[in-house]
Amino acid sequence: MAKTNPGRFFEDYTVGQQIQHAVPRTVTVGERALYHALYPARHALYSSDEFARGCGLPGAPLDDLAAFHIVFGKTVPDISLNAVANLGYGEGRWLKPAYPGDTLRARSTVIGLKQNSNGKTGVVYVRSEGLNQRDELVMSFCRWVMVKKRDVEAPAPETVVPDLAQAIAPGDLVIPEGLDFTSYDFALAGEAHRWSDYEIGEQIDHVDGVTIEDAEHMMATRLWQNTSKVHFDATLRADGQRLIYGGHVISLARALSFNGLANAQMIAGLNAGAHANPCFAGTTVHAWSEVLDKAETTAPGVGAIRLRLVARSGGEAFTLKDAAGRYLPHVLLDLDYWALIPL
């Protein structure tokens, strides 16, 4: 019997199937430090225990995206080892911050299946959840991936396409217990702009750029225990390149967005996301944002801001798609998320 993991193929999934993912992970200040070494992360709430306590939290949590990456990474051996493409994200919510000492694990439920017309692949829709050592949900999100069939003769399953929300409704965002921005220190946070200073439709060029090295994206992707082979093995592609984990570009772009969105401290919702073009080492990444929506919350002093975050490799800020609606070749990422920001 072969003992290595062959991954699941399209015909191995059934709607309603539940999968417990392996290798729980205790996160610590070590992961927190590495996050700051790998990305130009400066949001004060994640940089300073004192600042976080001033916002009503017990200390600085692990970056919200690190929690996302860990949960995502755990799902890879079961969901996307034989994936051809990571097609999209939706209905993502952060439900509880992860703190140093927490142990995270993950599980997924298959919520949709749709065989492609070529009969060789199909789309698998899953809802993945992260839990901590107290069995509390820390996050939940949907993603859909195109997965190979093992046997092209295998019969197509009944098509089930889940009806996912275009965006998380503001009232469904979960505000971390205790979060309070009424004594927020704008000087320490780095910028004076508050919720009311941003207008829907406003665009911000985050100006700074970072050139990515192979050692960096591999260290990050390993830290999240993501086992997708294409990120690590330079012999798999004809061009000798390692494909950079899309989440690395998300974290990089989000960190760059500090410059102009320093007070968009916590990520609360992931509405949608597309990795528009592949990214390789040597790429210099810039980012821009657009304010898509704004909402109030029930937490003291806490507003919500819905942002489009675009990472680009060259090109110009604020350019996204061509006339036919296709992403321009320099667009790496188009992410739609909700952040929490002082009113």
Q: Which of residues 17-56 bind its own copies (CB under 8 A)?
A: 20, 22-26, 28-34, 36-42, 44, 47-51
Amino acid at 205: D
In sequence order, the 6+-apart residues with CB closer than 8 A to the CB of 163 are none
Residue 160 or 230 having the CB closest to its own copies = 230
User: Is residue 183 a contact point for its own copies (CB under 8 A)?
Assistant: no
Question: Of the listed pieces 108-116, 148-156, 259-267, 329-337, which binds its own copies according to CB under 8 A?
Answer: 259-267
The three-class DSSP label of residue 33 is helix
- Interface of this chain with its own copies, residues 122 to 141, rule: CB under 8 A: 133
User: Is residue 329 a contact point for its own copies (CB under 8 A)?
Assistant: no
If residue 31 lies in a helix (H) or strand (E), which one and from where to where? helix 29-38
Residue 232 or 293 having the CB closest to its own copies = 232
Q: How far is the CB of 45 from its own copies (least distance, A)?
A: 10
- Interface of this chain with its own copies, residues 269 to 328, rule: CB under 8 A: 282, 284
User: Is residue 5 a contact point for its own copies (CB under 8 A)?
Assistant: yes
Question: Of the listed pieces 120-128, 184-192, 316-324, 331-339, which binds its own copies according to CB under 8 A?
Answer: 184-192
User: Is residue 239 a contact point for its own copies (CB under 8 A)?
Assistant: no
Q: How far is the CB of 202 from its own copies (least distance, A)?
A: 8
- Interface of this chain with its own copies, residues 71 to 130, rule: CB under 8 A: 77, 100-101, 103, 105
User: Is residue 187 a contact point for its own copies (CB under 8 A)?
Assistant: yes
Residue 147 or 262 having the CB closest to its own copies = 262
Question: Of the listed pieces 140-148, 209-217, 268-276, 298-306, which binds its own copies according to CB under 8 A?
Answer: 209-217
Amino acid at 274: A
Residue 36 or 114 having the CB closest to its own copies = 36
Pairing of strands 331-342, 266-275: antiparallel
Q: Give the number of other CB atoms < 10 A from CB of residue 65.
A: 25
Which of 215, 238, 323, 324 forms a contact with its own copies (CB under 8 A)?
215
Residue 90 or 176 having the CB closest to its own copies = 176
Which of 207, 296, 318, 322 forms a contact with its own copies (CB under 8 A)?
207
Residue 44 or 111 having the CB closest to its own copies = 44
Say how far apart CA 89 and CA 125 lie, in whole Å: 10
**Residues paired with residue 337 on neighbouring β-strands, in sequence order:** 270, 307
Q: Are 211 and 282 within 8 A, CB to CB?
A: yes
Query: How far, in whole angstroms, is CA 211 from its chain's centroid?
Result: 20
Say how far apart CA 79 and CA 97 lie, in whole Å: 25
Which of 162, 209, 278, 315 forms a contact with its own copies (CB under 8 A)?
209
Residue 93 or 193 having the CB closest to its own copies = 193
Residue 219 or 343 having the CB closest to its own copies = 219
What DSSP string runs through 234-294? TTSSTT-PPPPPHHHHHHHHHHHTHHHHTT--EEEEEEEEEE-S---TTPEEEEEEEEEEE
If residue 89 lies in a helix (H) or strand (E), which one and from where to where? strand 83-94
Residues that bind its own copies (rule: CB under 8 A) add up to a total of 76
Q: How far is the CB of 37 from its own copies (least distance, A)?
A: 4
205: tokens are 């060029």
Q: Are 142 and 125 within 8 A, CB to CB?
A: yes
Which of 154, 162, 170, 191 forms a contact with its own copies (CB under 8 A)?
191
> What b-and-e string marks burial along 42-56, b requiring 16 or more CB atoms within 10 Å of the CB?
ebbbbbeeebbebbb
Amino acid at 327: Y
